[in-house]
Structure 1
Amino acid sequence: MKVLVIYTHPNHQSLSYAFLQKVIQGSKDNSHITEVDVLDLYAEGFDPVLVFNENKRRRDMHADPALAKYREQLLWADKIVFVYPIWWGRPPAMLMGYIDKMFASGFAYKETGGLLPEGLLKGKSAVCVSTMQGPALYPLFWLNNAHKVLMRKALLQYVGIRKVTFFEFGSMESPKGKHEMKLNKVYRYFSTVAR
């Protein structure tokens, strides 16, 4: 199994970065995982801004040569892992910009004329590892689970990725946030997952 980790946080001293390290460590300790590639969107200088004009059309985004290496990463991966904080109830704008550019029609899905398109990333699985300041049940009761609906239904299932696992950790700025326990939970998952 080949794992692509998409990390989205500007600070390498952050708790999100600590979760990234556990994902990498667990993956390296797992005999089912043969390769791990990390895309650090901030360190990469990824440009999340969409530009459409007379030279760049939305319908051509799936073939934009500037995004070729990122498309290759997504096609290469069996499992796509997103590591990010939840800000304002959703992933950071940087990650949303990556999603806008990369999960384009003609690459991640194609229109069929029916109610839903055909997902072109079938057979892959995904994991979302996210942290937030508020309590863990805040998104469920206050935001109607908007974050999970966005990532699972509006994005991943739309492009054909049916198996989606969430690690959504709350109270992460509290000294009682049980950080080590949560970090170890992520490590255990990645050190044992078989698909």
Structure 2
Amino acid sequence: MRVLVVLAHPRTDSFNHAIASTVGATLEASGHAVDLCDLYDEGFDPLFTPDEMKRDFEAPPRLAAEIARLKNADAVVVIHPNWWGQAPAILKGWLDRVLRVGETYRFGTNDKGEGIMVSQLKARKALVFTTSNTPQAAELALYGDPLDNYWKRCVWGALGIPTERRNFESVILSTPEQRAEWLSEAARLTREAIG
């Protein structure tokens, strides 16, 4: 399978980058083709232009290439930190610009006549790894889990793509041994979710 791995963290020495390396190596060891999309390294421009809002907008080459990367993927892995209960702006901008009506999804109706989004993607699996510094108990008590809802219902779930997610926390308080265990878990979850 061709797997698109989307990474959104500006520091190359981050735990997010370590997860991406582990995921990539695990997928390649399983015989999959990995397309690493490091949004910061590639300098992806997350800003929507007014023209992009038009239905007849023709994507320029750089954006068209990003849309093609997603459309050609059999599975998607997303890796990012939890910043204020959300994904980094660069990743949100990537989603805003790449998930285009008419190209990656369309609107239709279900058998009850209700309006639905219909995916035009090949991907049938999604895996999301997030990191945070807030301990899980505090996160759940204070905020619920907004990122779980976002990825499983608002993004991939809205397109009918089953999604697994694992948050690693608290990164700032973790030891090298804990991070090594988490990387082993990330490899195992990648094998289980993607194959």
Tell me the TM-score normalised to structure 1 length.
0.88
The DSSP-based 3-state class of the residue aligned with 1:23 is helix
Note the aligned Cα RMSD (angstroms). Answer: 2.0
SS in 2 for 1:44: coil
Name which of 37, 50, 53 aligns with 1:52.
50
Cα distance in 1 for partners of 2:74, 2:118 equals: 18
Q: How far apart, in 2, do the equivalents of 1:90 and 1:57 lie?
A: 23
Normalization by structure 2: what TM-score? 0.88
Identity in percent: 27
Structure 1 unpaired stretches of 5+:
none
The amino acid that maps onto 2:143 is L
How many positions carry a matched residue from both structures? 189
The 3-state SS of whatever aligns with 2:103 is: coil
More displaced 10-residue stretch of structure 1: 111-120 or 96-105: 111-120
Q: Does 1:104 align with 2:100?
A: yes
Where structure 2 has 5 or more consecutive residues not aligned to the other structure, the ranges are none
How many angstroms does 1:193 deviate by? 4.8
What is the CA-CA distance between 1:89 and the residue it aligns to? Answer: 0.7
Task: Say if 2:78 is the partner of 1:82.
Answer: yes
Check whether the contact 2:78–2:128 (CA below 8 A) recurs between aligned residues: yes
Give how far 1:60 is off.
3.6
Does 1 or 2 have the higher relative contact order (CA < 8 Å, sep 6+)?
A: 1
Q: CA deviation digits over 1:15-69, x for unaligned, max 9?
A: 11111111111112214x2x1110110111100011115xx434245x4133111
Q: Which residue of 2 aligns with 1:27?
A: 27
Specify the alignment match of 2:60 in structure 1: 65
Partners of 1:85 and 1:92 within 8 A in 2: yes
Seen in structure 2, the aligned counterparts of structure 1 residues 65 and 22 have a Cα distance that, compared at 3 Å, is: same
